A = this chain, B = another copy of it.
């Protein structure tokens, strides 16, 4: 593995300061868990095996329609983004893959890009297409939609772009295409709901045809934004109907911030599992809309309940169950590297906590309608502090016991700032 700009020896030195206490906490937790017949080593291995993809675009500072406030040392291209992703994985030990976004991450020579990621020990997963923006010089605009546009030229451009993404992704080794479109309307009457959805389905079918045999296509639903009256794939209902119509290689992807207020998302996850259409996740957290906040930062118990479904499905050996995990966040006020490291670990935390649940005991409570004990069984897992397990999994693979302090001590951001002069055009002007 190519060295990142944070020397592994530096990480190791930082770790050694904390290793003794970690071992003590790990042992105490191990003893406690063993009373319930739980093997802490098995959990530590599970934590070590767990991996979640980082979105290439998440390494830059995000923003809102009102403004963007750039940070220092922001990556200016996919190679620098990759450099940051390598640091994220070095510290977290659970982000060994990167999800590209096209055309943002398009390069002339994908071989070079692949070699660079290989050198960091990073894989590419889940290619994301972008038909919610017009690119410079684009003739057939997406202003009024892409795959569902009333104009054939725009639909064709959107279809072609997705096919291009597949080809670019193949060069990087990704095995799935994630399609999120902003298509919809802002005015009642603007769009014919049925005809627009039919156009969407027809266009998506063209992309589906271009899928390699071992690829999947993941559709993403979203309630609103950028369209504010209707959105073509507005919820999991439209999503799964589209996926069912398109074929077995098409599945639904769940972004936690894309639902109506109060929605029970874990139940949607269960439904998608049951109907064999859960393709993957975009993890983040939110309080109001698609806030794209750090995973687990607002409703950690909700995230745990989602993993409760995922772990349960794996326990039951549910067929065709192999969802892709990815972060998708907007880091407006934090260092993106810190947020991505932290968020990956918070998702991992939910996973390990969900593994603590005694499935057979839970099924017994459920069968007996013992709501109190059933919910207590979940809460017992959630309330257990699994930090020592997560830290030990990191420590053993050379990642950081305390990622954020280690990162800060490394001065990485300040160091890259010197060699990444800010693009003067990358203003924070906003759009309104």
Q: Which residues of B contact A141 (CB under 8 A)?
A: 69
CB of A362 within 8 Å of the partner chain: yes
Given A186-B293, A186-B332, A188-B378, check contact A241 B271 (CB 8 Å).
Answer: yes
The minimal Cβ–Cβ distance linking A378 to chain B, given in whole angstroms, is 4
Residues in B with CB closer than 8 Å to A193 are: 266-267, 270-271, 274, 309
- Are A67 and B187 in contact, CB atoms less than 8 angstroms apart? no
A342 close to B (CB within 8 Å): yes
A:72-109 near B, CB below 8 Å: none
A182 at the A/B interface (Cβ < 8 Å)?
yes
Question: In the complex, A152 Cα to B270 Cα: how many Å?
Answer: 23
**Chain B residues within an 8 Å CB radius of A186:** 291, 293, 332-334, 371
Give the total of A residues in contact with B, Cβ under 8 Å.
Answer: 123
Q: Point out the residue from B62, B300, B309 that lies within 8 Å of A432, measured CB to CB.
A: B62
Is there an interface contact between A308 and B189, defined as CB atoms closer than 8 Å?
A: yes
Contacts of A369 in B (CB 8 A): 143-144, 150, 190, 333
A69 to B431, CA, bound (A): 11
Contact B228 A335 (CB under 8 A): no
CB-CB under 8 A from A263, the residues of chain B are 260
Interface string of A301-334 (1 = CB under 8 A from B): 1100100110010000000000000000010111
The complex is assembled from copies of this chain, and their number is 4
Are A64 and B431 also in contact (CB < 8 A) when A187-B297, A363-B192 are?
A: yes
Partner pick for A404 among B287, B342, B372, CB 8 A cutoff: B372
CB-based contact A182/B150 at 8 Å: no
Contacts of A270 in B (CB 8 A): 193-194, 197
Is A339 part of the contact surface with B, judged by Cβ < 8 Å?
yes
Q: How far is the CB of A264 from chain B (nearest CB, A)?
A: 5
Contact of A229 among B132, B264, B365, B376 (CB under 8 A): B264
Residues 187-222 of A, flagged 1 when their CB comes within 8 A of B and 0 if not, give 111111111011000000000000000000000000
Q: Among the interface residues A67, A229, A260, A291, which one has the most CB atoms of the partner chain B within 10 A?
A: A229
Query: Given B136, B224, B335, which contacts A372 in the complex, CB threshold below 8 Å?
Result: B335
- Extra pairs beyond A21-B32, A259-B260 (20, CB < 8 Å): A64-B65, A67-B133, A132-B430, A188-B375, A189-B308, A189-B375, A190-B369, A224-B262, A228-B293, A229-B264, A229-B293, A234-B264, A288-B289, A289-B289, A294-B375, A300-B301, A334-B372, A373-B404, A385-B385, A431-B431
> Which chain A residues have a beta carbon within 8 Å of chain B's beta carbons?
21, 24-25, 28, 31-32, 35, 57, 62-69, 132-134, 136, 141-144, 150, 182, 185-195, 197-198, 223-226, 228-230, 234-238, 240-241, 259-264, 266-268, 270-271, 273-275, 286-289, 291-294, 297-302, 305, 308-309, 312, 330, 332-335, 338-339, 342, 349, 362-363, 365-369, 371-379, 382-385, 387, 404, 425, 427-432
